[in-house]
């Protein structure tokens, strides 16, 4: 998080004379600034917002050259205070752990720090390393493009051109800095292209531009007879120097030498496999957002000068302002809700200035969806209390060294959002001590489910604890291993993903995405039944999830509303894979009696053995329940219910849609060989009931759900039973040390901290998951 609710606004009237500093104004005249900050004994510090900005600036520079950030940090101090005081200089020196004199020299040499007005700073390094690599040509090209000479600001006030003595970061000369970003390994054309992008409001990728990655001048090395060896250089595959990998080698360390260094992955040829790490996303602001066509908001009669898109500025059910758009950030089913800061342009130009860290274990898209709350709805408007303003979805760069700062266009809406995205490796192992226990959210026969917060990234997860002795005594080891296998290996947008798994000698732990929109059962109980479109939407997403499982020879066997969760946005997430049956080919049957009474298929009750088609019966039962409020053969007496499942005719209420009747009649055929879906999921997808579904868009989650749960934030448990959430969350101490070594070996492959997963979006063949069979 990069913001603080407390905002400090300084006005000139707040300044009182204490000490005098001489500054040069852009007009060429000189003036005095009277300010207590010119007393070095009175400290200065960045606001929380600017401190986070400073951290981002420093993170862009090579590890050994953080001191080169002195210039953008001084400029940041100038923007905060209005000019650069002694206290600002001392503060920057402390922040970068460099001598104060070094900062004083920079601030004195570059008089721009106390000039007003100053545009975006364009600084060209013209010292020897850069000059030998062509910086003179670059400076001339930049002067011609901007129409000013060093020390002057363009007529539109957008840019101020300066000549740098040395940035100290030009390990890939020549170097140019624009604002807070530096660009290396340049030629005149590259510089002009970068300036054009900045002028258009875009943020070019910082760092090396052409991949040459060397300070070697065009005419060759000038003073060394062999390639230089420094603390910031490593050997590339081709023998040249590579200073961007961030690997620190120093002659003072005898343990690491060039002949012993093996680079497993070069900077230019990174593997597409993702190594576990942390994806940091800073969402800053948006511009030019607007309401979708045909949507309007009632305006308050108390003011005729309100912004045309503003809704009543009051608090929602969770105390949030209803005036500004909010975002839902999602990565690998982890969702974070971010409210906008107060601002003057409401919907059009909100600011969030919020940082979110996501644990990365496998490649996944980053999704950012934008919504507006409202409490007043015009008659005939079916959009509900939430208005969808559009969103962004893309696959981040998971390179070991990556940083992005860009304005990204919004799809299914107008405008764009400014994002900063970076990625770094995380080699820390995961144990129970990696989490803070928050609440109990569920309990089963083998353990409980806790809501936890991962300490290093602050992400909220569901932690499922399982006592080894319990599953051993009840012969449930294979079922438990099957659940972990399915969760770890299958990647599907409608299946809850496994994040981590680990163990102790007494317990097994599964760390899952925390989906907190509530169980489908919870919402169905509250509303009685769902309308046709909502029922169809959930059934379609469930169909995609079951199709995925079947394509990898997995039978789910326990489809019911309690095992289906809703996320922030309203998409479903299938969970609880303890009853899954693995390695089931198309014709193979299993006889295990398991499931929930209301949803058991006839072939299972008759003990005839069953195939994957058993899941289509349960999908039919669930769809019937969503449309009517009860399963089709429900009875409080279980034996009578079993009789009805086997014998009673299927009856429908009068108001059931004809296509829904047809689909349910096909799914609830007692003979599995004649049941709709016997030929595969595509047979069900082709039914007229689903004719309005764009399956490609549905799988990509590009269709907005018909219902959004009321969720305050990632830690909200209001959609869970208070019977559990009122419990004290503890990881109970147990003494199951009597488990034999043979039993313990059954769990030897339990731990999971990220690996390759199976994504069936383009799968056309079946494949088994590896796990012990029943």
- The bridge status of strand 490-491 relative to strand 758-759 is parallel
- The bridge status of strand 181-184 relative to strand 175-178 is antiparallel
Pairwise CA distance, residues 395 & 410, whole Å = 15
Residues 436-455 as b/e (b if ≥16 CB within 10 A, e otherwise) read eebbbbbeeebbbbbbbbbe
Query: Is 659 an annotated catalytic residue?
Result: no
* Selection from 266, 267, 485, 343 nearest residue 3 by Cα: 343
Residue length, the chain? Answer: 774
DSSP 394: E
Continuous H helices in 284-329:
none
615 in Cβ contact with 604 (< 8 Å): no
Neighbours of 324 (CB within 10 A): 23
Burial class of residue 682, CB neighbours in 10 A (0-12, 13-18, 19+): exposed
Pairwise CA distance, residues 604 & 600, whole Å = 7
Largest CA distance in the chain: 98
174 in Cβ contact with 134 (< 8 Å): yes
25 in Cβ contact with 115 (< 8 Å): yes
Q: What is the DSSP annotation of 469-497?
A: HHHHHTT-HHHHHHHHHHHHHEE-TTBPP
Burial class of residue 217, CB neighbours in 10 A (0-12, 13-18, 19+): middle
Q: What are phi and psi of 682, to 5 degrees?
A: -60, -30
448 in Cβ contact with 714 (< 8 Å): no
Angle formed by the axes of helices 188-199 and 135-146, nearest 10°: 40
Contacts of 520 (CB under 8 A, 6+ apart): 538, 561, 562, 564, 565, 566, 572
484 beta partners: none
Check the CA dihedral 183-188-189-191 and report its sign.
Answer: positive
Pairwise CA distance, residues 617 & 602, whole Å = 9
366 in Cβ contact with 344 (< 8 Å): no
DSSP 340: P
Pairwise CA distance, residues 667 & 749, whole Å = 38
Check the CA dihedral 264-268-272-276 and report its sign.
Answer: positive
Check the CA dihedral 357-362-363-365 and report its sign.
Answer: negative
Which among 558, 567, 576, 615 is annotated as catalytic? 558
- The bridge status of strand 234-235 relative to strand 175-178 is unpaired
Check the CA dihedral 57-58-63-65 and report its sign.
Answer: positive
- The bridge status of strand 460-467 relative to strand 490-491 is unpaired
Six-digit token string for 134? 């062509």
Pairwise CA distance, residues 538 & 534, whole Å = 6
CA 730 to chain CA centroid, Å, is 28
Neighbours of 531 (CB within 10 A): 13
Active site positions, annotated: 558
């Amino acid at each position: 998080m990069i913001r603080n609710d407390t905002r400090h606004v300084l006005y000139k009237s707040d300044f009182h004379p204490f000490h005098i500093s001489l500054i040069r104004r852009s007009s060429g005249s000189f003036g005095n600034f009277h300010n207590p900050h010119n007393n070095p004994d009175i400290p200065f510090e960045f606001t929380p917002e600017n401190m986070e900005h400073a951290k981002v600036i420093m993170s862009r520079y090579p590890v050994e050259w953080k001191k080169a950030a002195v210039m953008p940090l001084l400029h940041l101090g100038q923007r905060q205070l209005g000019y650069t005081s002694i206290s600002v200089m001392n503060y920057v020196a402390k922040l970068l752990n460099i001598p104060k004199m070094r900062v004083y020299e920079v601030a004195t040499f570059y008089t721009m720090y106390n000039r007003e007005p100053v545009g975006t700073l364009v600084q060209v390094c013209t010292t020897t390393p850069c000059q030998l690599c062509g910086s003179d040509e670059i400076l001339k090209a930049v002067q011609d493009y901007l129409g000013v000479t060093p020390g002057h600001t363009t007529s539109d006030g957008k840019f101020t051109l300066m000549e740098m003595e040395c940035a100290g970061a030009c390990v890939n000369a020549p170097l140019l800095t624009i604002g807070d970003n530096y660009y290396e390994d340049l030629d005149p054309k590259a510089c002009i292209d970068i300036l054009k992008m900045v002028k258009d409001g875009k943020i070019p990728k910082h760092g090396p531009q052409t991949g040459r990655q060397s300070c070697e001048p065009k005419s060759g090395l000038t003073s060394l007879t062999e390639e230089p060896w420094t603390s910031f250089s490593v050997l590339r595959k081709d023998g040249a120097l590579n200073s961007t990998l961030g690997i620190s080698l120093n002659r003072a360390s005898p343990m690491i030498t060039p002949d012993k260094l093996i680079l497993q992955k070069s900077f230019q040829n990174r593997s597409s496999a993702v190594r576990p790490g942390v994806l940091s996303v800073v969402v800053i602001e948006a511009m030019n957002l607007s309401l979708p066509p045909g949507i309007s908001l009632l305006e308050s009669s108390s003011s005729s000068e309100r912004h045309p898109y503003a809704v009543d500025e009051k608090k929602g059910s969770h105390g949030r302002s209803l005036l500004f758009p909010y975002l839902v950030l999602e990565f690998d089913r982890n969702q974070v809700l971010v409210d906008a800061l107060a601002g003057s342009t409401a919907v059009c130009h909100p600011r969030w200035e919020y940082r979110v860290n996501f644990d990365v274990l496998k490649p996944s898209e980053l999704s950012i969806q934008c919504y507006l709350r409202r409490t007043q709805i015009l008659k005939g408007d079916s959009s509900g209390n939430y208005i969808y303003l559009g969103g962004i979805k893309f696959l981040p760069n998971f390179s070991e060294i990556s940083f992005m700062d860009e304005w990204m266009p919004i799809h299914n809406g107008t405008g764009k959002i400014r994002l900063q995205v970076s990625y770094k490796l995380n080699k820390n192992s995961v144990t129970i001590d990696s989490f803070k226990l928050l609440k109990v959210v569920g309990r089963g026969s083998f353990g409980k489910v806790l809501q936890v917060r991962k300490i290093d990234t602050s992400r909220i997860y569901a932690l499922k604890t399982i006592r080894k002795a319990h599953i051993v005594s009840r012969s449930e080891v294979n079922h438990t291993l099957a659940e972990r296998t399915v969760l770890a290996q299958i990647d599907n947008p409608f299946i809850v993903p496994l994040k981590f798994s680990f163990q102790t000698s007494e317990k097994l732990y599964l760390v899952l995405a925390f989906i907190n929109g509530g169980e489908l059962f919870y919402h169905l109980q509250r509303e009685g039944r769902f309308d046709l479109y909502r029922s169809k939407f959930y059934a379609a997403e469930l169909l995609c999830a079951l199709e995925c499982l079947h394509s990898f020879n997995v039978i789910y066997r326990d489809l019911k509303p309690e095992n289906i969760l809703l996320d922030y946005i309203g998409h479903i997430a299938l969970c609880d894979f303890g009853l899954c049956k693995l390695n089931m080919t198309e014709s193979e049957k299993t006889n295990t009696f398991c499931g929930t009474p209301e949803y058991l298929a006839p072939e299972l009750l008759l003990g005839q053995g069953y195939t994957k088609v058993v899941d289509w019966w349960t999908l039919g039962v669930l769809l019937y329940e969503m449309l009517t409020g009860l399963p089709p053969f429900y009875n409080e007496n279980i034996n009578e219910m079993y009789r009805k499942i086997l014998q009673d005719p299927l009856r429908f209420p009068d108001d059931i849609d004809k296509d829904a009747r047809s689909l349910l009649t096909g799914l609830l055929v007692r003979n599995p060989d004649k049941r709709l879906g016997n030929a595969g999921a595509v047979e069900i997808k082709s039914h007229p009931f689903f004719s309005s579904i764009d399956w490609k868009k549905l799988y990509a989650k590009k269709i907005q759900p018909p219902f959004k749960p009321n969720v305050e934030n990632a830690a909200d448990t209001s959609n869970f039973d208070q019977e559990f959430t009122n419990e004290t969350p503890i990881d109970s101490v147990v003494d199951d040390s009597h488990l034999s070594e043979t039993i313990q070996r059954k769990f030897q492959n339990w731990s999971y901290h990220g690996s390759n997963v199976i994504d069936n979006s383009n799968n056309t063949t079946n494949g088994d998951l590896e796990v012990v069979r029943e």
